[in-house]
Amino acid sequence: MESLDIQKIREEFPILSREVNGKPLVYFDNAATSQTPMRVVDAVLHNYTHTKANVHRGVHTLSQEATDLQEEARRRVRDYINAESIEEVIFTRGTTEGINLVAASFGERFREGDEIILTVMEHHANIVPWQLLQRHKGIKIRVVDINDRGELNLDQYRSLFNDRTVMASFAHVSNVLGTINPVKEMIAYAHAKGVPVLVDGAQGAPHLSIDVRDFDADFYVFSSHKMYGPAGIGVLYGKKKWLEEMPPYQGGGEMIEHVSFNGTTFASLPFKFEAGTPDFIDIAAFVKALDFIKEYDIRNIASHEEALMRYTTEKMLEIPGMRIFGTAPHKCGVISFLVNDIHPYDLGLLLDKTGVAVRTGHHCAQPLMERFGIPGTIRASFAVYNTFEECDIFINNLKRLITFF
């Protein structure tokens, strides 16, 4: 493991040198969205100023160039996640759209009484699309609980499978607890029961190396904006055998082979699932975010983030009345907490006055909040550019602010 030159990395992120409320910014809201290095911003600018043309439509040079950039991005994503082919890489608007696509399209085959296994730690993006399906298909949703450390109850997970189970869908990493779920083991169990699995990788892809073939995931979804890339795009990986069988999710241009009022035929993969003009500018720029991660190596990034998280956790536990939600030994990225009965919103607001950006609230995981019997938490989350000095600023400000209550 190599130690990273964090100051050099920070130079790529101009936003990190700005002040907020007269104080240097300490950006600890990376689980919501990470900041973007200049190489990505420059690529967006370059694509707008040099190669903007609609993709897959024109014979002219600009259109060819824009198409080449987008398709190069698809190859790069394939390599990044170790997918077998580019046909398995669908560009979406993000994790949310990826899950909606699978629920709507793969879900077509489900019948009344079929069961789907989710977990109590899911983000709303991995709950509500299945509930929408539940409404018009009459499927049942079964939910895996967690223990006090915030780890999934795997015995219960295994016990929920029966001959009506048609799908399991769970987070790689919890956005509230930071728990890294044993996805490979969970997928192997589901497959032994003949059940396909979707993994919500929104919080996994930014911190862990992703190998969809090693996991043997049927679907894996993630968002660019949480991994140093542009906002508004994401990826759905799906096994070709499923994607080929699945009906289109949306209709329109790009996704057809031939259209007639007597019947329309659809484009081959991956275009069958990419109706309309894609966000080709940002898709092409996403390559630069993948370059960034590759340059510093996801393993080094993860080990730096873990060191920050462990250091901060230890200091936080010295604070009387501190409650940390999510204490699994195998966790990454985030620290969710409450102090005494201080409302998270009040503490979050005061931390902001000191330049520290944290997230407060239910983090789009209301069932998990209900499980803990709390309305919300404060969440500090880390990225590669964060420093130990920032952790100290956060801790010191936190300690000082708590005395006001």
Our finding on whether 96 is near ligand PMP (CB under 6 A) is: yes
Smallest gap from Cβ 290 to ligand PMP, in A, equals 17
Whether the CB-CB separation of 202 and 8 falls below 8 Å is answered with no
Binding flag, residue 175, ligand PMP (CB under 6 A): yes
What CA–CA distance (Å, rounded) separates 119 from 48? Answer: 42
- Name the minimum Å distance from CB 332 to ligand PMP: 12
Q: According to the binding rule CB under 6 A, does residue 218 interact with ligand PMP?
A: no
CB of 403 to ligand PMP, least distance (A): 32
Among 200, 274, 279, 305, binds ligand PMP (CB under 6 A): 200
Which of 40, 125, 190, 255 is the binder for ligand PMP (CB under 6 A)?
125
* Binds ligand PMP (CB under 6 A): choice among 95, 179, 181, 360: 95
Strands 26-27, 356-357: pairing kind: parallel
Q: Is 76 in the site for ligand PMP (CB under 6 A)?
A: no
Q: Residues 14, 17, 23, 26: is their CA dihedral positive or negative?
A: positive
Beta-bridge partner residues of 323: 338
Tell me whether the omega of the peptide bond preceding residue 270 falls within 30 degrees of 0, making it cis. yes
Q: Which CB sits closer to ligand PMP, 234 or 355?
A: 234
Select the residue interacting with ligand PMP from 165, 203, 312, 397 (CB under 6 A).
203
Q: Name the CA dihedral angle for 147, 151, 152, 156, rounded to a multiple of 10 degrees.
A: -40
Instruction: Assess whether 332 carries a catalytic annotation.
Output: no
- Is position 360 an interface residue for ligand PMP (rule: CB under 6 A)? no
What token pair was written down for 16?
């990190």
Which residues, listed in sequence order, are joined to residue 154 by a DSSP beta bridge?
Answer: none
By the 10 Å C-beta count (0-12 exposed, 13-18 middle, 19+ buried), 180 is classed as buried
How many positions of this chain bind ligand PMP (CB under 6 A)?
13
Neighbours of 3 (CB within 10 A): 9
Closer of 51 and 100 to ligand PMP (Cβ): 100
Does 102 bind ligand PMP (CB under 6 A)? Our answer is no
Residue 123 engages ligand PMP in binding (rule: CB under 6 A): yes
Is 309 a residue that touches ligand PMP (CB under 6 A)?
A: no
Look-up of token digits 């979406």: 92
Closest CB 357 distance from ligand PMP, rounded Å? 15
94 binds ligand PMP (CB under 6 A): yes
Rounded CA separation 59/62 (Å): 9
The answer for 135, left when phi > 0, alpha when psi is -120 to 50, beta otherwise, is: alpha
Q: Does 290 bind ligand PMP (CB under 6 A)?
A: no
Pairing state between β 19-20 and 23-24: antiparallel
Q: Which of 32, 364, 374, 402 is catalytic?
A: 364
Q: Give catalytic residues, as residue numbers.
A: 364
Interface residue list for ligand PMP (CB under 6 A): 94-96, 123, 125-126, 171, 175, 200, 202-203, 223, 364
